[in-house]
Chain A
């Protein structure tokens, strides 16, 4: 679907900060509020805006348990449906937070979240590697997140400018 410059601009703005009010966005791009809301609604209806979410640094929450693993999965694609069918089989598990088809040494990159390494190990051995088309898996556990979706966790970049200058 081909979008207008305005529509793309709204997407760029929302991608950086989904909390901006439609009134502010309208002012930023020189439209009125209603027109802006209409465009946003259209983009949602078209599923171009898929979902709004919050980036949380769970590592800061002591009583939260969570582990993330990235799994390289090799599969045998099926005639007619290619990789889609196996991707579907994988992403339906609620433990799976992302699935990408990749070029290179393996086929699918699968991100899995669980409470513990054990839980993830179990998921991989019992659910993932037992799927018909899955040939092999390599599991990498994330140790620490530094940057995610363009945001730096724990950035120490402050505004160091003097408050008034020429």
Chain B
């Protein structure tokens, strides 16, 4: 008998399954679940954007685009990045349109990692970082950020994690799952060390638009950083376009050319209708982004204040759409908490441990939901805790 499993590469066999998957399976078949477990906007993509995609289909724009994406779109992205985040990239040489930020992270890893290279990953973090580092043949060296530092990477921690094999730092601000936003000063402290040790930074800034108290600072805008940064962004979160699968990466010419080599063989180009939609999003969608951000901000204030009120300590996240309260006061592990909460009160949250070190003892509550849903969820969580 053929042992089918042996056909699977060891690296993949050893990859741990996503902890999120387990909760999805549990919650997917239940009725009446209020979900705070969703990592995407509850808003539907603006009609003008959807309409632009329809128009592109009507006009018959159904062929491949340039590997790096429509030049028109790259030009808009370059303007957007300059106006919004004060970083200037050459649309012809330094910007690649990708299939979501996810693919941008993947090609960035594959473009820079030699076997055994160490990539420092700041946890708790988005679930795909470590697997993607490992798939590219690298070693993920994780740093655990702490609630007492608002989950901000401390320069000393970074210093200690650096070895002669360290190639790059992978960092995400505003962060999923903690919502932590790094200020210019925070970034400066990190960049000093990065520059001193001549490292590269992969910056996942997919939540850049969703910053509620102070404007997002792109790490590439800090002096001496652009030449050593692969900047990742996209349309999924800020523009409420997750299902379109459209992101981009910006990097110095040499690195960008390397990423493009992989992209052209592995993907050819991002979806054409989605690229036309993104073009419209940049040309006319900013007002909608502002409106959505306003809504998220109010919901954030509501949920953080409510969680604290019912006894789940929660720092105020500066961005993204996640609150990351501590559940240590309940004496449960985060998986126990999430599972019981789902079974007893039908509220779905994501246990913090799936996001790596430092996540245990916390749950991720997404506030990309209507106020009605949030109020109901808080009511149920309160019942759960008081029992």
Residues of A within 8 A of B (CB): 9, 12-13, 17, 20, 24, 27-30, 157, 159, 161-166
Q: How far is the CA of A9 from the CA of B301 in the complex (A)?
A: 13
Q: How far is the CA of A166 from the CA of B322 in the complex (A)?
A: 11
Contacts of B294 in A (CB 8 A): 12
Could you tell me the distance in whole angstroms from the C-beta of A94 to the nearest C-beta in chain B?
34
Closest 9 CB pairs of A and B: A164-B37, A28-B298, A27-B305, A164-B24, A27-B302, A165-B39, A163-B27, A163-B35, A28-B302
Q: Is B28 an interface residue (CB 8 A)?
A: yes
Say whether B40 contacts A24, CB under 8 Å. no
Known: A27-B302, A29-B298, A30-B301. A163 touches B371 (CB 8 A): no
Say whether A161 contacts B38, CB under 8 Å. yes
Contacts of B39 in A (CB 8 A): 165-166
Contacts of B348 in A (CB 8 A): 163-164
Q: Is B188 an interface residue (CB 8 A)?
A: no
Say whether B298 contacts A163, CB under 8 Å. no
Checking B20, B128, B305 against A164 with a beta-carbon cut-off of 8 angstroms, the contacting residue is B20
- Which residue of B has the minimal Cβ distance to A20? B371
Say whether B42 contacts A164, CB under 8 Å. no
Chain B, range 330-387, C-beta contacts under 8 Å to A: 348, 350, 371-372, 375
Since A24-B302, A159-B42 are in contact, a sample of 11 more A-B pairs with Cβ atoms closer than 8 Å, ordered by chain A residue number, is: A17-B372, A20-B371, A27-B306, A28-B299, A162-B24, A163-B24, A164-B24, A164-B38, A164-B350, A166-B126, A166-B128
Contacts of A164 in B (CB 8 A): 20, 23-24, 27-28, 35, 37-38, 348, 350
Say whether B20 contacts A165, CB under 8 Å. yes
Chain B, range 211-253, C-beta contacts under 8 Å to A: none
Contacts of A159 in B (CB 8 A): 42
Say whether A165 contacts B24, CB under 8 Å. yes
Q: Is B282 an interface residue (CB 8 A)?
A: no
Question: How many A-B residue contacts, CB cutoff 8 Å?
Answer: 62
Q: Is B127 an interface residue (CB 8 A)?
A: yes
The majority secondary structure among interface residues of chain A is: loop
Chain B, range 3-61, C-beta contacts under 8 Å to A: 18, 20, 23-24, 27-28, 33, 35, 37-40, 42, 44
Could you tell me the distance in whole angstroms from the C-beta of A9 to the nearest C-beta in chain B?
8
Contacts of B128 in A (CB 8 A): 166
Q: How far is the CA of A28 from the CA of B126 in the complex (A)?
A: 27
Most chain B CB within a 10 A radius of its CB, from A12, A17, A161? A161
Contacts of A157 in B (CB 8 A): 44
- A-B pairs with beta carbons under 8 Å apart, 5 shown: A27-B302, A27-B306, A28-B298, A29-B298, A159-B42
Checking A24, A29, A30, A161 against B371 with a beta-carbon cut-off of 8 angstroms, the contacting residue is A24
Say whether B40 contacts A165, CB under 8 Å. yes
Q: How far is the CA of A65 from the CA of B379 in the complex (A)?
A: 40
Contacts of B42 in A (CB 8 A): 159, 161
Q: How far is the CA of A164 from the CA of B371 in the complex (A)?
A: 18
Could you tell me the distance in whole angstroms from the C-beta of B35 to the nearest C-beta in chain A?
5
Say whether B302 contacts A163, CB under 8 Å. no
Checking B18, B28, B301, B375 against A166 with a beta-carbon cut-off of 8 angstroms, the contacting residue is B18
Q: How far is the CA of A9 from the CA of B24 in the complex (A)?
A: 36
Say whether B305 contacts A163, CB under 8 Å. no
Q: How far is the CA of A20 from the CA of B372 in the complex (A)?
A: 9
Q: How far is the CA of A17 from the CA of B298 in the complex (A)?
A: 13
Could you tell me the distance in whole angstroms from the C-beta of A139 to the nearest C-beta in chain B?
32
Say whether A163 contacts B38, CB under 8 Å. yes
Q: How far is the CA of A17 from the CA of B371 in the complex (A)?
A: 10
Chain B, range 174-216, C-beta contacts under 8 Å to A: 176
Contacts of A9 in B (CB 8 A): 298
Known: A164-B20, A164-B38, A165-B37. A24 touches B375 (CB 8 A): yes
Could you tell me the distance in whole angstroms from the C-beta of B26 to the nearest C-beta in chain A?
8
Say whether B20 contacts A161, CB under 8 Å. no
Could you tell me the distance in whole angstroms from the C-beta of B65 to the nearest C-beta in chain A?
27
Say whether A163 contacts B37, CB under 8 Å. yes
Q: How far is the CA of A34 from the CA of B351 in the complex (A)?
A: 35
Say whether A163 contacts B28, CB under 8 Å. yes
Contacts of B299 in A (CB 8 A): 28
Contacts of A163 in B (CB 8 A): 24, 27-28, 33, 35, 37-38, 348
Could you tell me the distance in whole angstroms from the C-beta of A103 to the nearest C-beta in chain B?
25
Q: How far is the CA of A161 from the CA of B127 in the complex (A)?
A: 19
